[in-house]
Chain A
Amino acid sequence: MTTNLDQTKPPAPPITITAAKEPSTLDVSVGPQHPGSGHMRIIIRVDGDYIVSVDPDIGYVHRGCEKIAEYRTAVSNIPHLERPCIIDAIHLNWGYVLPIQELQGVVVPPRGQYISTIAAEMNRIMSHLYWLAINAGVFSGHTTIFMYAFGDRDLFIELAEMLTGARLTYSFLPPGGPRRDLPAEFQHRLLQLLGYFEKRLVEYDRIFLSNPLVIARAKGVGILKREEAIKLGLTGPVLRGSGVKYDVRKVEPYGAYADLDFEIPTFEEGDSYARFLVRFEEMKESIKIIRQALEKMPKGPIARKAPLIIPEGEAIGRVESSRGELTYMVKGDNSDKPSRVKIMNGSFRSLIAFPYLLRKVHVADMPIIYGSLDYWPLEADR
């Protein structure tokens, strides 16, 4: 079977980011100090008001997570492996324990799967609210949505603190299942908050998504065609904004997603506004998922006891984090420390979109494109 990628033309030349410099251009360094999102530097080559080429220079927050993971036991790896993307910590935690549970042969009971799913979807809403406030709001100059989204995010953080005991870094899922059961008042307060949040989403739509300034800045900017998105190996909302309907929750269901009924929002245009809309609609789908999971919650134990040793072998596990497909490969050698942990996350995979999208655009379009890709430097650098 042949694919529909264009094969009649010879392959395009590879990205020449460090090509020879023309005399009319100027190299400007954007960063590395970015208070909103983490430190990374993009060296842009400008010719007047147009960007000619781009060279991402990352590594300013590289902490060596993969090397440290070989020196800590399997369970004490969880706190430092969930810190790369601290606002999305449940997904980073879950992706790590899925291959370990596979190697050890531990199956989480159904109630534990439902609790993990509820915590993961709450985390997705929190991460998208952070994106809305900073990457889409502050970077494009819209500070009202920053205040609105941060205020609502704080309400979700309070509920997460009620469930797990911590505001941002939960360490909630050791191998075998979640640590704690739902507290008594949790369900009632969560349903109250979801009802309030649905009305707020309508307001966000009015002040941000239907704002003529945002539409003028984001529509038609940074267009990523479907074949390019597939060829570059992008993932997450960036891929779904270009018309590819791919989500790990449907392709390889984990947790309770196989029993729940939800949609995958996909848009065809591929510009920055489509990527904004994908994340917005995902928040609405998350509300649906949480409501269904609370209704259908089964009774029973929440966790099984897992051994402390990782048997010999190699396993791959993946989850759909807020920034895309997060894949972990864990290799064990019959001791309590893993011998190799490899992390492949959505932010590092979208690094290749920078030289592609930031070509022949105005300098003022750069924050919008950067914000729509939702690149989190700490996660990409690990």
Chain B
Amino acid sequence: MANQSSTRKEDLVNKLKTRFPEAIKSSKIEGKRRITITFDKDKLLDIAQFMRDELGFDHVKGVAGVDDPTHKKIEVLYFTGSLSIPEIEDIILVLQTELARDNPTIASAVSVWESAHFHERETFEMFGVKFEGHPDLRKLLTLDNWDGPPPMLKDIKFPEMGQR
């Protein structure tokens, strides 16, 4: 069973690497069911279309932003999975990319994966990442007239936090 699962995952990674040799920067396989792929942010829509049509990853479980002020970048992670193909339905494939911290923009994946709609709205609001092409990019969770900075960035310490 271990042989079968490791060849499945390497199979997927090799297919992505042969199709996009320069856009895929690195890949990592961990444990039995996790693959992490770091890619160049300009090729998001092509990679996403290939993954949905050829490999069978048809939905997005979540979109996370990770702030890294020491290296001046914000990372955006897409957690994708497959529900229609039983052989790979237990793998989580994480697509990871880096954006510049002072102007984070990336194309929106909603035209390929419609399940990313509300996740991208939340990442826009919490980290300030602009998703170009998103049909309805507005604030979702914070106050109606919140004009403060995006709350999840690391150098924003709300004065009350951490005091006991």
B-facing mask of A345-370, CB < 8 A → 1, else 0? 00011011000000000000000000
Q: Are B84 and A5 in contact (CB under 8 A)?
A: yes
Determine if B115 is an interface residue (Cβ-Cβ < 8 Å). yes
Q: Which of A3, A15, A349 contacts B53 (CB 8 A)?
A: A3
Q: Name the interface size band of chain A.
A: 35 or more
Which residues from chain B contact A62 at a C-beta distance below 8 Å? Answer: 141-142
Determine if B132 is an interface residue (Cβ-Cβ < 8 Å). no
Determine if A381 is an interface residue (Cβ-Cβ < 8 Å). yes
Which residues from chain B contact A3 at a C-beta distance below 8 Å? Answer: 52-53, 56, 58, 84-85
Q: Are A351 and B111 in contact (CB under 8 A)?
A: no
Q: Are A71 and B161 in contact (CB under 8 A)?
A: yes
Can you give 21 contacting A-B residue pairs, CB < 8 Å? A2-B53, A2-B54, A3-B52, A7-B53, A14-B114, A15-B114, A15-B136, A18-B136, A66-B152, A68-B161, A102-B31, A231-B59, A231-B115, A233-B60, A252-B33, A325-B61, A342-B62, A344-B64, A348-B118, A349-B61, A381-B141
Determine if B23 is an interface residue (Cβ-Cβ < 8 Å). no
Determine if A4 is an interface residue (Cβ-Cβ < 8 Å). yes
Which residues from chain A contact B119 at a C-beta distance below 8 Å? Answer: 344, 348
- By beta carbon, the residue of chain B nearest A5 is B58
In the A-B complex, list the 3 residue pairs whose CB atoms are closest, starting with the nearest: A233-B115, A344-B62, A233-B59
Q: Which of A1-46 contact B (CB under 8 A)?
A: 1-5, 7, 11, 14-18
Determine if B43 is an interface residue (Cβ-Cβ < 8 Å). no
Interface size on B, residues (CB 8 A): 47
Determine if B100 is an interface residue (Cβ-Cβ < 8 Å). no
Q: Are B141 and A233 in contact (CB under 8 A)?
A: no
* Minimal beta-carbon separation of A270 from chain B (angstroms): 14
- By beta carbon, the residue of chain A nearest B67 is A340
Q: Are B162 and A4 in contact (CB under 8 A)?
A: no
* Minimal beta-carbon separation of A115 from chain B (angstroms): 25
A-facing mask of B42-62, CB < 8 A → 1, else 0? 000000000011111011111
